[in-house]
């Protein structure tokens, strides 16, 4: 599957359409009790069957578009380069290589090139965020104990 990248930010008109469609689809999905549904394209009167999960993904896309957010779809089994991983984490490529060699992120080698599963990189990123949050909470507790918040 192709990775869709650099999609433009939704226009105001697209945001409004997405918001209306999101609410309608959200309501409809609550009433679907099978693993697939049939949808009709009004302009062509063609009906197609789609998996329920595809409609749930469309719901998430519409919600993000209605908020003016840029959409990117990446299959979870996608392997990415160390350069792309560094862009996603916002760090240097040599730092990514060090993380890989230290065993902090799983990877495979294709010849001389390292490849990282997108899912593994996102799991590492989420772990970083969780650790950062825990450290901030710890700092806040220390500040409270030392009386920095007392008036």
User: Is 105 a domain residue?
Assistant: yes
Tell me how many domains the chain contains.
2
Whole-prediction pTM: 0.56
pLDDT at 146: 87
Q: What is the mean pLDDT of each run of 10 residues along the chain (151 residues)?
A: 62 95 94 92 94 94 92 79 94 97 95 94 95 94 84 65
- What is the per-residue burial (b if ≥16 Cβ within 10 Å, else e) of 66-93? beeeeeeebeeebbbebebbbebbeeee
Query: Coil, strand or helix: which one is 121?
Result: helix
Query: Coil, strand or helix: which one is 70?
Result: coil
pLDDT at 14: 94
pLDDT at 136: 95
* 36-41/46-51 β-pairing: antiparallel
pLDDT at 2: 46
Domain region containing 138: 79-145
Please state the φ and ψ torsions of residue 41, each to the nearest 5 degrees. Answer: -90, 115
User: Is 101 a domain residue?
Assistant: yes
How far apart are alpha carbons 151 and 142 in whole angstroms?
A: 16
Domain boundary among 25, 44, 66: 66
């Amino acid at each position: 599957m192709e990775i869709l990248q650099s999609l433009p930010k939704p226009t105001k008109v697209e945001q409004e359409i997405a918001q209306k469609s999101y609410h309608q689809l959200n309501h409809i999905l609550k009433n679907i009790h099978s693993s697939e549904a049939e949808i009709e394209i009004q302009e062509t009167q063609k009906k197609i069957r789609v998996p329920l999960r595809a409609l749930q993904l469309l719901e998430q896309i519409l919600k993000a578009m209605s908020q003016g957010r840029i959409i990117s779809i990446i299959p979870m089994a996608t392997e990415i380069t160390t350069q792309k991983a560094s862009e996603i984490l916002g760090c240097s490529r040599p730092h990514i290589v060090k993380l890989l060699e230290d065993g902090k992120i799983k990877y495979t080698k294709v010849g001389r090139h390292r490849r990282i599963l997108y899912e593994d990189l996102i799991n590492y990123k989420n772990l970083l965020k969780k650790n950062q949050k825990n450290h901030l909470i710890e700092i806040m507790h220390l500040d409270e104990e030392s009386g920095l918040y007392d008036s």
